[in-house]
Amino acid sequence: MAAVEGAATGVQSQQHQPPARAVERLNSAVQQQLNLDSIKTRATSLFKAISRILEEFDAISRANAVPKWQDVMSQFSMVNMELFNIVEDIKNVSKAFVVHPRNVNAENATILPVMLSSKLLPEMEIDDNTKREQLLQGMQNLPVSAQIEKLKARIDMIGAACESAEKVIADTRKAYFGTRQGPTILPTIDKVQAAKIQEQENLLRSAVNHGEGLRISGDQRQITSTLPVHLVDILAANDGPQNYSDTSGMYLKNTPPLSSTSNNSQGNLLQASGAQLLGRSAASPSGATVSNSFDNTTASPLQYANSPRSGASMMNTPSPQQQSLQQLQQQQQQQRQKMMQIPQHQQLLAQQQFRQSSMNMGQNQLPQLHDLQGQGQQKFQQMHGQQHMQFSQPLTAQHRQLSSGAMHVNQNQMNQGNQLSRQINQFSSPANNAMFNSAQTTPSQISNMAMMSSQSVFPRMQVGMSGGNRNLPSQNLSDQMFNMGAANSGGMMPLQQQQHSSQGAFGNMQQSGQNLQPNMVQMQNTAQNHPNFQQSRPQNQQ
Amino acid sequence: MECVVQGIIETQHVEALEILLQGLCGVHRERLRIHELCLKSGPNLGLVASEVRLLCDLEQPEPTWTVRHIGGAMRGAGAEQISVLVRTLTESKVSKNALRLFYSLGYKLDHELLRVGFAFHFQRGAQITVTVSSVNKMLKLHATDEAVPVTPGIQLVEVTAPASSENYTEVVAAVSSFCEYLAPLLHLSKPGVTTGVVPTAAAAAASLMSDGGGTTL
């Protein structure tokens, strides 16, 4: 408090200095925060109160009376409060100005004596003593000045030793590097080597960041060797290569379950490979068996009420699913992926539709396929002559064979539309009803497919796909067509026309009928070049 | 988000780099053997094809799987000035049937690779991970035991550190300053930017590998 008073008076006294000297005042901003005069007044009043109390104590002690502790305590608390208030006010501006006493309160009561004491802690004191003894060994009897001299000499010696050590290190370093690298030659890499390294680096970086050079072609994507431990139970041994985005045909002799499991995903819009579906539906009739006869197909198409296969809604306008799919398909997508997806869905569709047919849908059943193709071809020939499309069996052929030329041809001819539906009734197979129903919606589906590919010139074929797998199966088919006869631009009808109604577009289709033949020839040729195809195609289609 | 830089080093200098990293990081190296499968989505899954990476850590006694999605990198003038790539990253541990799940969602295997090497994880301003690995490709599908290096003479060095949008500047600074320590041996840059090898690499590697030498005092 005395300090406060002193500071206050100090400021004030300076204010009374002669004008020649600069008058020191508090910063105007600070002055607003802190009214120095009032602080001074309060400080002086507090000082007077405390001196009065001290006088009272003095009187009491002289009189040897017992002080009334209540009075004493109340007076003390009053004084304490006043001091506290003053300190609080000053704290706002007290960063550089004042020194003020700190109240002793609970938090610092215990540590204050320790902080104020100048004696070292016992441990520190012991350390200090031992160090001092070490230092002054042998010198303690000498006078202090002599001790100082000796210590100084010691310090100088140590300094000199350090300097010489640093010098030696620097010299050695120079010598070491000097001998290794030569005077001022920066190491360089010769250009040839640099170029090689650059090339390797590009390979590596593109491999890591983009996967360049790491993609295996479809032929090699068969799991021929044993799977590593961490993949063994994830990819079942008979799953076969799944879902590789590659254009090679899906015909893999050693992946029979592909078709079997596809039975389970009726009405499933997802593109799931057969292997993936292995674990999904318990109702798979064929289970893990290789052969996938239609007799084994699972639940009826009516499983999904919304599915076009249910028959009731066959003639409706394309469902939102189709429309949204159309939007999806309108992007540029890899044809390979489409190719990938198609076989699976084609299987699904064909199986679902023809479940009662006696034809086998086993993709990898070569003999069965052979028969199927034979049938397909027969139909094809009929159709070709009549320019009629007959759905059922040729469609199954289409579904099964990715690269079948017959498929393509049939597809082309199927574009001739409504006539097909009429002809469907000719078939005795009850599955034809499903075919018929599904066929009605296929134009839209096909056109959806077509919109996806920017190259589409071909009329979209009406593949008898059920609504469940609407767009996906035909994608690949149409893409295959593109692959096969992409160069063909023989006036194929635009897709949009097909999209809207199954009946309306057929007038257009007939116009293209004439064009189909050369196209078909082309496709057949290219189809025949397909390696898988050659395995199963018995003869020329026509 | 993560900050990432990549660099290359010749295989002959990898040991020297390991010694340097050991000294800088103060932790022991961890062996690395990761089978990375890169899956791309099919056309039914949205307008843009998305890519997801499944990483299987084969060093653990029980192979652990992680799924990782690498998003777009930060763009802009500020991004161009910093020498570190800052990109969004989503990562999660998954159970081992994640591969099946992605396949059934319609994802297809685009490519796969196997990283074999070592890694250091340490804290230096940020949680930094340095991996030095040889990137191997598999000639046959999933045949990790028969993997061959893509570039036998060169290995990939990657320095990554997780970051958030609030603290990425500090993380970038930490990664950059750490990379300076590796300057004698290799240069690190944003993925996609080629660096070449450092001319002083041979000398630096030699000095790291030597047992001291020099004259006795």
Residue range A29-54, pLDDT digits in tens: 666 666 778 888 888 988 998 899 88
Half-sphere exposure in the Cβ direction for A509 (13 Å, CA): 30
Least confident span in A27-31, A87-91, A109-113, A492-496: A492-496
**Which chain A residues touch B34 with a CB distance below 8 Å?**
none
pLDDT the model gives residue B135? 93
Half-sphere exposure in the Cβ direction for A225 (13 Å, CA): 13
pLDDT the model gives residue B57? 92
**Which chain A residues touch B73 with a CB distance below 8 Å?**
none
Which pLDDT band holds residue A22 (cuts at 50, 70, 90)?
Answer: low
Which pLDDT band holds residue B30 (cuts at 50, 70, 90)?
Answer: very high
pLDDT the model gives residue A167? 93
Structure tokens at B12: 């002959």
Instruction: Give the residue, A331 or B186, on which the prediction is more confident.
Output: B186
Q: How far is A19 from chain B (nearest CA, A)?
A: 56
Query: In this complex, is the C-beta atom of A161 within 8 Å of any C-beta atom belonging to chain B?
Result: no
**Which chain A residues touch B44 with a CB distance below 8 Å?**
269-271, 325, 328, 341, 472
Q: Using the predicted structure, report yes or no on whether residue B165 has a pLDDT greater than 50.
A: yes
For B192, nearest residue in chain A (alpha carbons) = A205
**Cβ(B201)–Cβ(B184) under 8 Å?**
yes
Of the candidates B56, B39, B50, which has an alpha carbon nearest to the alpha carbon of residue B93? B56
Q: How far is B3 from chain A (nearest CA, A)?
A: 15
Q: Using the predicted structure, report yes or no on whether residue A523 has a pLDDT greater than 50.
A: no
pLDDT per position as a tens digit, A432-460: 444 444 444 444 444 444 444 444 444 44
Q: How far is A263 from chain B (nearest CA, A)?
A: 15
Query: Angle formed by the axes of helices A2-15 and A36-63, to 10°?
Result: 140
**Which chain A residues touch B195 with a CB distance below 8 Å?**
201
Indicate the residue of B42, B97, B140 with minimum beta-carbon distance to A234: B97
For A265, nearest residue in chain B (alpha carbons) = B104
pLDDT per position as a tens digit, A531-541: 444 444 444 44
Distance between CA atoms of A274 and A277, rounded to whole angstroms? Answer: 5
Distance between CA atoms of A274 and A257, rounded to whole angstroms? Answer: 6
Across the interface, do A208 and B144 touch by the CB < 8 Å criterion?
no
**Which chain A residues touch B100 with a CB distance below 8 Å?**
234-235, 276, 279
Least confident span in A15-24, A41-50, A465-474, B32-41: A465-474
Q: Using the predicted structure, report yes or no on whether residue A76 has a pLDDT greater than 50.
A: yes
Q: Using the predicted structure, report yes or no on whether residue B213 has a pLDDT greater than 90.
A: no
Prediction pTM value: 0.41
Indicate the residue of B141, B146, B192 with minimum beta-carbon distance to A205: B192
Q: Using the predicted structure, report yes or no on whether residue A225 has a pLDDT greater than 80.
A: no
Across the interface, do B150 and A187 touch by the CB < 8 Å criterion?
no
Mean pLDDT of A410-428: 46
Distance between CA atoms of A290 and A274, rounded to whole angstroms? Answer: 12
Least confident span in A19-28, A138-147, A214-223: A19-28
Residue with the two structure tokens 């631009």: A489
Find residue B52's DSSP bridge partners: B39
Least confident span in A78-82, A334-338, B58-62, B184-188: A334-338
Quick one: what percent of chain A has pLDDT higher than 90?
4
Of the candidates B213, B204, B191, which has an alpha carbon nearest to the alpha carbon of residue B23? B204
Distance between CA atoms of B105 and A234, rounded to whole angstroms? Answer: 15
**Which chain A residues touch B206 with a CB distance below 8 Å?**
180
User: Torsion angle, CA of A94/A6/A41/A16, rounded to 10 degrees?
Assistant: -100
Query: In this complex, is the C-beta atom of A431 within 8 Å of any C-beta atom belonging to chain B?
Result: no
Indicate the residue of A180, A215, A227 with minimum beta-carbon distance to B142: A227
pLDDT the model gives residue A35? 72
Indicate the residue of B107, B137, B156 with minimum beta-carbon distance to A214: B137
Least confident span in A98-102, B84-88, B147-151: A98-102
* R_g (Cα) of chain B, nearest Å: 19
Q: Using the predicted structure, report yes or no on whether residue A120 has a pLDDT greater than 80.
A: no
Q: Give Cβ neighbours of residue A232 (< 8 Å, ≥ 6 apart).
A: A226
List the beta strands (DSSP E) in chain B: 2-10, 30-40, 51-57, 64-73, 85-94, 108-123, 127-138, 147-149, 154-162, 188-189
**Chain A residues 449-508 within an 8 A CB cutoff of chain B:** 452, 472, 475
Q: How far is A242 from chain B (nearest CA, A)?
A: 8
In our burial notation (b when 16+ CB lie closer than 10 A, e otherwise), range A35-51 reads: ebeebbebbeebeeebe
Size of interface A-B (CB pairs under 8 A): 181
Q: How many residues does chain A have?
A: 542
For A245, nearest residue in chain B (alpha carbons) = B108
Across the interface, do A211 and B100 touch by the CB < 8 Å criterion?
no
Q: Give Cβ neighbours of residue A500 (< 8 Å, ≥ 6 apart).
A: A444
Indicate the residue of B110, B191, B199 with minimum beta-carbon distance to A188: B199
3-state secondary structure A409-450: HHHHHHCCCHHHHHHHCCCCCCHHHHHHHHHHHHHHHHHHHH
Q: Using the predicted structure, report yes or no on whether residue B20 has a pLDDT greater than 70.
A: yes
Q: Using the predicted structure, report yes or no on whether residue B118 has a pLDDT greater than 70.
A: yes
Find residue B158's DSSP bridge partners: B6, B131
Distance between CA atoms of A104 and A396, rounded to whole angstroms? Answer: 99
**A308: three-class secondary structure by DSSP:** helix
Q: What is the largest CA-CA distance in chain A?
A: 143
Of the candidates A223, A225, A227, A288, which has an alpha carbon nearest to the alpha carbon of residue A258? A288
pLDDT per position as a tens digit, B32-71: 999 999 999 877 777 888 889 999 999 988 899 999 999 8
Least confident span in A168-177, A333-342, B99-108: A333-342
Structure tokens at B167: 């603290």
